[in-house]
Every structure is written in structure tokens, then in C-alpha cells.
Amino acid sequence: LAALTPAELARLPTADRAEIDGALTAHERWEDAQSFRSFLTSPHYCGLDLSPMVAAIVDASEGRRPDTIDDATSERYFGCGLDALPRERRRTVAVQAGGRGGKTSRLLAPKALHAAWTVPLPTLGADEHAVALIVSSELVFARQALSFCVGYVRQSPALSAALVGEPGADSLTLRRPDGGLVDVRVRAAGARGKGGRAFTLVGAFLDEACFFFDESGVVNDREIVRACSPRIVPGGQLWMVSTPWIEGVGVLEEELASSWGTHAETLAVRGV
């Protein structure tokens, strides 16, 4: 195709031009899905305009050096300068942020879709469904996160064409270009981590993780993490986001305390 001039392309039969246009569009969509940031901003997928800080978190989550913030901003939110951020993807991403900052609508929910669309699944069976699992403190909040996913799918040319059936109250299903079936499902945080068991996970996405309590009122975020982590396939990630609650209490707070500024095991973002 690169060897053809525009005039030569114009002289091709209509059917051939349509086939070439379709191939180019499919390739463009494939390229736009390869990084989380391009998935978020591409008109083929989410079509978002990102704030500088959200873009920086997205880039850093994949081991890319952010180019939308300066060193002073990086020090404030990541605890280190840009050059000290990890150059490899961390398996866990922990984000503490204030309310209405977009942590669910612009990070957690679209990341669940991106994982569902892109994480390799070489051993998935022909009729097996993998899962991008969203867990929140209550089912109503998890369903809110799913509603953001549904909105992105509806307006995306690529994702809407891949939707299998109609989204339900607690899940939607995508058929990927490789034929794999992946559900985006929601669960409330349950006792003994039951919300995260029994699935092959492309990722686990814990929303308002500082507020995870089981039916008896016991903090159960650790059980959820223990249930989900071993089930996340290579290439997938565990994301934990929350508004702050009690300093020093819970897995998210522990991850921030141990990794903020160093990011040795977890990409940690505080105070967005």
C-alpha cells in the first residue's frame, strides 16, 4: 500500500478501495489499543481528553515516562522525580484520590475494558470466558463502574461491534479480535474474598478499596486481594483506587506506605 500514490489508489475498483480502507482502519484500531493511553484517547475506543495527571498515571502504570507533568508535580503525587519512576509495568497499581477526580470513570473502568481487550489469553478454551473483575465496597458502586464501561462500549466503533448480547446488570461480554470471550463483571466485596474466586482474570479492579468490609463489618480487603492476585494471568494487573479513609489501615494504605516514592513492587500514587 505504501508504494501506491493517492492517484493510483483512486483508480482502484470501489470494492478494492473499500477493502483497503477496512484493512487500514482495522490496523489503526489495533495500534490504538496497544497502550492504555492511546486506548483512552482514540476515537475508536474511549475518545477521552485526559488531564495531565491522569495521563501521567496512565503512562506510569505501563512503565512509560510521563510527558504531561513536570518533576515538581511528579514529586508531589508519585513521591519521586520523573526519571525515578519505574520503566517496567508494575503488577499492582495503587491510587489514593479525592472524590470526583475521575479515578473510577477515567482510570478503573476503562482499564478494565482495556485489559479485557488486550491482555494475552493463550490458554483460554474455545467456550471459556475470562473476566475483568470490578469489586467495590457495595454492589451499587460496582454497578456504577460497570455503567461507565457500558457507556464507553456503546460509543466505541470497535467495542460496540464486539459486544456479545446486551449488557446485564452485573456484566457485559466482548468477543475480542482473536476470538476470545471476556466478561467485565462486578462483585461486592464479600467474606473470605468470595467476590474474586473461581475466575481466570485479565485483571482485578478494586474500587473504593479503603471501604471494603464484609457482612459482619470486618475489613476484608486483604482477603479480596489474596483471592484475586493468583488468578490474574501474566500481563494483567491489580488496580486499587480509593478516596482516603483511615490512615494506615488496609492494603491500599500499606501499599502506599511501602511503595510511594520507590515503586519497587507497586506503582503508588497519593493525593491526586
Nine-digit cell at 84?
A: 525515578
pLDDT at 241 (0 to 100):
95
Report the mean per-residue pLDDT for the chain.
88
Residue 4 clears pLDDT 80, i.e. is over it: no
Coil/strand/helix, residue 203: strand
pLDDT tens, residue by residue, 99-151 = 677 899 999 999 999 999 999 999 888 889 999 999 998 899 999 999 999 99
> What pTM value is reported for the model?
0.87
Residue 252 clears pLDDT 90, i.e. is over it: yes
Residue 2 clears pLDDT 60, i.e. is over it: no
Residue 17 clears pLDDT 50, i.e. is over it: no
Nine-digit cell at 36?
A: 492504555
**Of residues 220 and 215, which shows the higher confidence score?**
220
Q: Which residue has the cell 494483567?
A: 236
DSSP structure string for 57-89: HHHHHTTPPPSSS-HHHHHHHHSS-GGGS-SS-
Coil/strand/helix, residue 47: coil
CA atoms of 149 and 135, how far apart (whole Å): 14
pLDDT tens, residue by residue, 19-66 = 544 544 565 677 889 899 999 999 999 999 999 999 999 999 999 999
pLDDT tens, residue by residue, 6-15 = 666 567 677 6
pLDDT at 102 (0 to 100):
86
Name all contacts of 63-66 with Cβ < 8 Å and 24+ positions apart. Answer: 63/87, 63/88, 63/89, 63/90, 64/35, 64/37
Residue 3 clears pLDDT 80, i.e. is over it: no
